[in-house]
Amino acid sequence: MASSVLVSVEAPQEYRIQEMTYDGTEILQPPYTMSENLARLASKVDFSLKEGESESDAKFQEQRESEHEPAFEPEPKQIRWPWENIRNRVAFALNECSVLLDVMKICKENKFMVLDSVQQAPVDKRPIVPFIAKKRHIAAAAHILMAGGDRLRNAQLEASENASGENPPNLLASQNSFDLQLLQLRHQWRLRKIGNVIVGDLSYKTVGSRYWQSGKFEVSKRTDSSEGEETLKVTIPPELDCQSFIHLLIRTDTTSDYKFGIDDNFGITLPANHPNPMNSFELKVDEQLSRAQTTLFCNELFAQLSREAIRLQSPIPHTVVGNTIDAILFPGVHLYICLARCPPPAPSVEGSNDPLRGDIYSVFEHSLHHMLYDSHYENLNLPAPHPTTAPIGLSKRRRLAGPEAHDVASLLQTTETETILERLLRMAKHWCLRQQSKNVIDEMAASCTDPVFIAHWNTLTHPWESSVRMNIYSAGYETSSRTAVVVHIEHNGLKVICRDGRVINLSYEPEHLWNFLELQVAQHQISAIHGLAKVMGWILLGSSYSSRTVGAGTDEIEGMKCLLMSPNGKVRVFMRCLSGGKFSVGIQSDCERLSSFLPLNPSSLNLSSQSPGSACASVNWDEMMGKNNVAKMEFLLTALSSSV
């Protein structure tokens, strides 16, 4: 019996194998969809066969044609999508039908295009026509040249007659023409045409201003202008059609001529006989625009100062009432900043007891305008350098804050900027202290004739810092005794540098400077007598001064003392310098020697007390011979030395 053999029968794959991976896994091709299957079958249909012709006949016909034609192998055309052959054949059939339709229309309707020859224009054989045309062109060019020459001649004549003061009516009419005046106005102001309206701008936004108020004005032609008048008419907003300016006043609490009130003229009351400059005469166009621009600038400046006054933190807060700012400089001293529409009457200096009145207000107003100009400039011109990878507007110090690891305090210092009002207050405070110091020095020089005061004020000063050098000397003894003191006047106090190098800080109170000057006078008198006694051979036994402190590092002198002894030791002179330059001098010696001082005037000695061995006498200093205290002391020491 034959052994059985196992035969494995496997059904064929229904789908083709698309890919086989490295691990032996077979990836089968997915089955066709109905549309894909239809496209695959349609691509196998040959639409070139005629009806009733089999495929064998078509192949036989192709073989016969291929025998007579040269053999060539056409390039296989790649089919991008299944219906491409059908689409190409249908498009070819459509083109043939379109050509057939065009041929039928031409045969039936006779619609076809004919190319006709273009006939050239006949040449004009008359030579007079181009001659006349050239003549006209030359005449037009000559007219243009003559008109230009006339305008140049009129301009030269106008310039010469304006220089001589004469102006004929025809040239004056040409000057006042609308176009010429508009051209001149455009050279000075920004103008542009919007539709049929000519609009100008008075604001400072192009130079860095950030003020909200608009400065638009309109330019039109005046219809009622006569010969010799301007033909331009400008329409300015009503809030700018006035004359405004910033007015500053420094007043004390005791001043009664200033009224802190608000009225229609912005805090400044005009007298009844004061004319209003806005209604007195008709202004020209340039003057109207300049006045309106000044008003806009003053409005911006006052708005900036008002914001800064409200935000500024000060011990005594500043107040803003209407169009007036009340800033406190010192206790009892106020700075008033007013936005005025009309110029106030000139203040009368006669009968005024205000020591702070002066001509410094115009300087302050000029400085205010320049500070606002500087702020406009800083808004446009950012600090250099301008790196490409950093934000624009930061200073170099703020850019280095990150790499150098600055703390919060350093960062806050970089963001702090001084406002316009703070700079104005510093200037006003410095001016007040400077005037006050000047008055104190003048009063001291007038009240104290001995010694002599000479003050040298520095002409090159800072807006909020100046200095004065005072030389104190006795007349006739300039080389032997001289005291120099330098006073630096700042905005919140004084800094004094003495002769010995000591630096003393004084407050804004005038009494402190007065007491310091009295101390310097007493020290100068004693030092001058020390030098005189040393030259004459007298011995200095001692010197001291008694004083009491009144504050801010200053002393009020009660007396400065000095004791001298003659070369032989038999006579002693005691002197005391009081405040105001007064002297008190006493002599101690034997009774016999004291009565034998022949050079002395007997009326100048007062025997106050006597003891068994000595006697003391006080000297009537006012009756002593000499033009100053040092000369009197020299005469006294000489008399005592000769009598001993």
The neighbour count for residue 169, using CB atoms within 10 Å, is 9
CA dist 464 and 363 (Å) reads 13
- Supply the angle between the helices 420-447 and 361-380 in degrees, to the nearest 10: 150
Distance CA 293, CA 296 (A): 5
- Residue 250 contacts residue 333 (beta carbons within 8 Å): yes
Q: For residue 172, tell me if it sits in a domain.
A: no
Does residue 474 lie within any of the structural domains?
yes
Q: Is 208 left (phi over 0), alpha (psi -120 to 50) or beta?
A: left
φ, ψ (nearest 5 deg) of residue 227: -70, 130
Which of the two residues, 616 and 268, has the higher pLDDT score?
616
Mean pLDDT of 636-641: 80
Mean pLDDT of 32-44: 81
Tell me the pLDDT band of 1, cut-offs 50, 70 and 90: very low
Query: Can you tell me whether residue 614 is helix, strand or coil?
Result: coil
**Averaged pLDDT for residues 439-444:** 89
Among 308, 314, 300, CA closest to 239: 300
Neighbours of 146 (CB within 10 A): 10
The average pLDDT across 121-134 equals 75
Q: State residue 407 phi and psi, 5-degree precision.
A: -85, 180
Report pLDDT digits (tens) over 552-596: 444 555 567 888 888 887 788 888 887 666 777 888 776 556 655
Please, which pLDDT band fits residue 486 given cuts at 50, 70 and 90?
very high
The C-alpha angle 10, 15, 21, rounded to 5 degrees, equals 90
Distance CA 543, CA 588 (A): 17
Is 613 domain-assigned? yes
CA separation (Å) from 69 to 63, 73, 302, 327?
A: 10, 12, 105, 115
CA distance 80 to 84: 7
Q: In b/e form, how buried is each residue of 502-536, taking b as 16+ CB within 10 angstroms? A: eebebbbbeebbbbbbbbbbbbbbbbbbbebbeeb
Domain span at 581: 427-643
Q: How confident is the model at residue 223 (pLDDT cuts 50, 70, 90)?
A: confident
C-alpha to C-alpha distance for 311 and 261, rounded to whole angstroms: 23
Residue 269 lies in a domain: no
Mean of the pLDDT values across residues 603-610? 50
CA pair distance 489, 431, nearest whole angstrom:
9
Residue 562 has which token pair?
Answer: 């000095």
Name the token pair of 42. 């349609």
Instruction: Dump pLDDT digits (tens) for 287-323.
Output: 888 888 888 888 898 988 998 999 888 888 888 988 8
528: alpha, beta or left? (left if phi > 0; alpha if psi -120 to 50): alpha
Rounded average pLDDT over 358-364 = 73
Question: Is residue 479 one of the residues assigned to a domain?
Answer: yes
How big, in percent rounded to 5, are the helix, strand and coil portions of the chain? 40, 20, 40
Which distant-in-sequence residues (6+ apart) come within 8 Å of 603 by Cβ? Answer: 620, 623
Q: What pLDDT is recorded for position 419?
A: 86
Q: Does 281 score more than 50 pLDDT?
A: no
Confidence class for position 125, pLDDT limits 50, 70, 90 = low
In a domain, residue 170? The reply is: no
Number of structural domains (the chain) is 1
Q: Which of 550, 578, 551 is nearest to 562 (CA)?
A: 578
Cβ-Cβ contacts under 8 Å for 604 (sequence gap 6 or more): 619, 620, 623, 624
What integer is the mean pLDDT of 214-232? Answer: 75
**pLDDT more than 70, % of the chain:** 70
Cα 420 from Cα 521, distance rounded (Å): 41
Contact 564, 573 (CB under 8 A): yes
Pair of tokens at residue 208: 């860095």
The Cα–Cα gap between 294 and 216 comes to 14
495 — pLDDT class (breaks 50, 70, 90): very high
What whole-number distance in Å separates Cα of residue 273 and Cα of residue 345? 10
- Tokens encoding 19: 């890919």
Residue-level pLDDT at 549:
47
Residue 142 above 90 pLDDT? yes
Cα torsion at 409, 415, 419, 422 (round to 10°)? Answer: 10
- pLDDT at position 644 over 60: no
Does residue 11 form part of some domain?
no
Which pLDDT does position 543 carry in this prediction? 77
Residue type, 491: H
Residue 600: CB atoms within 10 Å: 20
Average pLDDT of the chain is 75
The CA distance from 377 to 371, in Å, is 10
Give me the pLDDT at residue 230, please. Answer: 72
Q: Is the pLDDT of residue 74 over 70?
A: no
Residue 271 has pLDDT above 60, yes or no: no
pLDDT in tens, 173-201: 544 577 788 888 888 888 888 888 888 88
* CATH code, domain carrying 545: 3.90.1150.20
- Confirm if 202 and 235 have CB atoms less than 8 A apart: no
| Residue 584 near residue 548 (C-beta atoms within 8 A) | no
Output the pTM of the full model: 0.60
Mean pLDDT over 93-106 rounds to 88
Over pLDDT 90: what percentage of the chain? 5
User: Residue 267: inside a domain, yes or no?
Assistant: no
pLDDT (0 to 100) of residue 9:
64
- Rounded Cα–Cα distance for residues 573 and 575 (Å): 7
pLDDT by residue (tens digit) across 367-417? 888 888 888 888 777 766 666 666 666 667 777 777 888 888 887 777 677
The H-assigned helical ranges of 121-216 are: 128-164, 169-175, 178-188
Task: Give the model's pLDDT for residue 475.
Answer: 82
Tokens 């002395």 sit on residue: 600
Tell me which residue of 548, 473, 554, 454 sits closest to 506, measured CA to CA.
554
Binned at pLDDT 50, 70 and 90, residue 263 comes out as very low
> What 8-state DSSP symbol labels residue 417?
-
Q: How far apart are CA 400 and CA 379, in angstroms?
A: 22
Tell me what pLDDT residue 594 has.
Answer: 61
pLDDT confidence tier of residue 71, bands split at 50, 70 and 90? very low
Q: What would the mean pLDDT of 439-467 be, rounded to a whole number?
A: 86
Quote the CA–CA distance of 520 and 483 in Å, as a whole number.
Answer: 8
User: Is the confidence at residue 85, as pLDDT, over 60?
Assistant: yes
Alpha helices in 382-541 (DSSP H): 396-399, 408-415, 420-447, 510-536
